[in-house]
Structures are given as C-alpha cells and as structure tokens.
Amino acid sequence: MPLTKNQIAQRIAQELQSGFYVNLGIGIPTLVANHVPKEMAVEFQSENGILGVGPFPEAGKEDPDLVNAGKQTITPLPGSSYFDSAVSFGMIRGKHIDLTVLGAMEVSETGDIANWKVPGKLVKGMGGAMDLVASSENIIVAMIHTDSKGASKLLKKCTLPLTGVRCVKRIVTHLAVLDVVEGGFLLKERAPGVSVDEIQLATEGRLVVPKFVPEMIF
C-alpha cells in the first residue's frame, strides 16, 4: 500500500535525532511534528521568527501575534524564543539548523529541486525555500512520487524553474525512500507492499536498485 501523507511524515520523523533544530516546510513536512517520539529533544524553527514551535492552540486561545511560516496559529513550547527575520535566516544560512524538510514539485537525479513557480500558471514565490536549500546540509524532501496525472516528479532533469541545485540528499515519497547519489536515485526502502517495479515505473530519473530493498518499518 502506498503511504498516506501522514505516513510519509511518520517515516521522516524517524530521521530526527535528539538535539536537532529542525525547519519544517508547509504541507506534508508540517505533519512531521506530530510524530516526534516523546523522549526526543528536538526544536522546530519557523522562519518567520520562532524556535520551539508547539502545538496548535486550543479553540479560543489563538493569538494573532503567534503564527508559523504557513500563517497558522501556534503555541510556544517551554524554552521558545522569538526573533526577527534576519536573525531567523542567519540561523539557516549559518548552518545552525540540523535538518530541513520541505515539499517539492520536482526533484532531479542530481539533487536539484523545483518548488516555487509554474510559469504562466502559478506563482507562489520561493519564500524561505531558496535560503534553506542553499545552506542546509541535511535536506529531506517530502512528496507524492507522481503528480495528479500520474507523471513522475523524480526526474532526470527538472523542467520547472529551480529552487536550488545539487542540494537534496533524501526523498521520502508515498512509494519509497530514496537517496540522491552519484548515478541517480538510490532506492533505500519501499512502502509496505509496493514493488520495485511499481517504483521504477513511477520514476523518470535513473533509479539505482540494490539487490535487496527492504520495506519501511513503522
């Protein structure tokens, strides 16, 4: 069975390590925060200016001065701090963030990523994504393997305007976990019950398939 969006987030949460400062992008990445093991000490940064992002507030306790980068109301956890946007991106540019998780429209087999613009159709802007991918050393992309028409989003070469080049290290899709290596997408894990052939069919870029590809364990 291919993973749900929530399961993609759950699988990515397994990449967290105690002591990590983590930036989560909008969409599937935001869900990763729901799957942090209780004993693990991680802090989430939102680039609009908070470290220590906590859960959504209870109804009636929303504070308009407290939002995340997706403009959703949030609460701060004990140990939180607020700061301006230059300091926030200093944390990112200065490599103080240990893990970046973001969504993508396309990823190439050399680790290029496109996620901010579809020419003539959709212009959302890059927001903080270009700063994040240009500076982070540990970038995981969370995405559905194919688009709504079934076309692969893991490509030889991105067709959309790029957000960054040679920066993606790992991709978790609803079908597989893949690493970007010399030679293409290295297939690390399959979603439970999904075959290598299915993943191959959904991947336009070069897929490197080891002899044994384990299923993801939850």
Partner 1 sequence: MIHKKVETVNEALEGIQSGMTLMLGGFGLCGIPENLISALAQSSFENFTCISANVGVDDFGLGLLFGAKKIKKMYGSYVGENQEFERQLLSGEIEVSLVPMGTLAEKCRAAQMGIPAFYTPAGFGTEVALEKELRDFNGKTYLLETAFQSDFSLVKAWKGDEAGNLIFRGTARNFNPLMCGASSVTVAEVEELVPAGELDPNQIHTPGIFVDRIFQGKLYEKRIERRTTQNP
Catalytic positions are 47
- Tell me how far, at minimum, the Cβ of 150 lies from partner 1, in Å: 25
| Continuous segment of H or E residues that includes residue 139 | strand 139-142
Q: Which residue among 59, 182, 193, 217 contacts partner 1 (CB under 8 A)?
A: 59
| Continuous segment of H or E residues that includes residue 93 | helix 85-93
Secondary structure letter of residue 120 according to DSSP: T
Identify the three-state secondary structure at position 172: strand
Q: Which residue among 41, 84, 96, 210 contacts partner 1 (CB under 8 A)?
A: 84
- Tell me how far, at minimum, the Cβ of 211 lies from partner 1, in Å: 35
Binding mask 150-179 for partner 1 (x = CB under 8 A): -----------xxxxxx-------------
Minimal CA–CA distance to 99: which of 22, 7, 199? 22
| Continuous segment of H or E residues that includes residue 28 | helix 28-31
Note the residue count of the chain. 218
- Tell me how far, at minimum, the Cβ of 86 lies from partner 1, in Å: 4
- Tell me how far, at minimum, the Cβ of 160 lies from partner 1, in Å: 11
- The answer to whether residue 85 forms part of the interface with partner 1 (CB under 8 A) is yes
Sole window of 40-48, 170-178, 181-189, 194-202 interacting with partner 1 (rule: CB under 8 A): 40-48
Long-range own/partner contacts, residues 75-80 (CB < 8 A, 24 or more apart): 76/50, 76/52, 77/43, 77/52, 77/53, 78/52, 79/43, 79/52, 80/50, 80/51, 80/52, 80/53, 80/54
CB nearer to partner 1: pick between 127 and 184: 127
Cα angle 192-13-190, degrees, rounded to a multiple of 5: 20
Sole window of 2-10, 87-95, 97-105, 205-213 interacting with partner 1 (rule: CB under 8 A): 87-95
- The answer to whether residue 193 forms part of the interface with partner 1 (CB under 8 A) is no
> How far is the C-alpha of 39 from the C-alpha of 27, rounded, in Å?
25
How far is Cα of residue 11 from the mean position of the Cα atoms in its chain? 11
> How far is the C-alpha of 152 from the C-alpha of 207, rounded, in Å?
12
- The answer to whether residue 108 forms part of the interface with partner 1 (CB under 8 A) is no
Size of the site for partner 1 (CB under 8 A): 52
- The answer to whether residue 111 forms part of the interface with partner 1 (CB under 8 A) is no
Q: Which residues bind partner 1 (CB under 8 A)?
A: 46-50, 55-59, 61-68, 70-74, 82-86, 88-89, 92-93, 112, 116, 120, 123-131, 134-135, 161-166
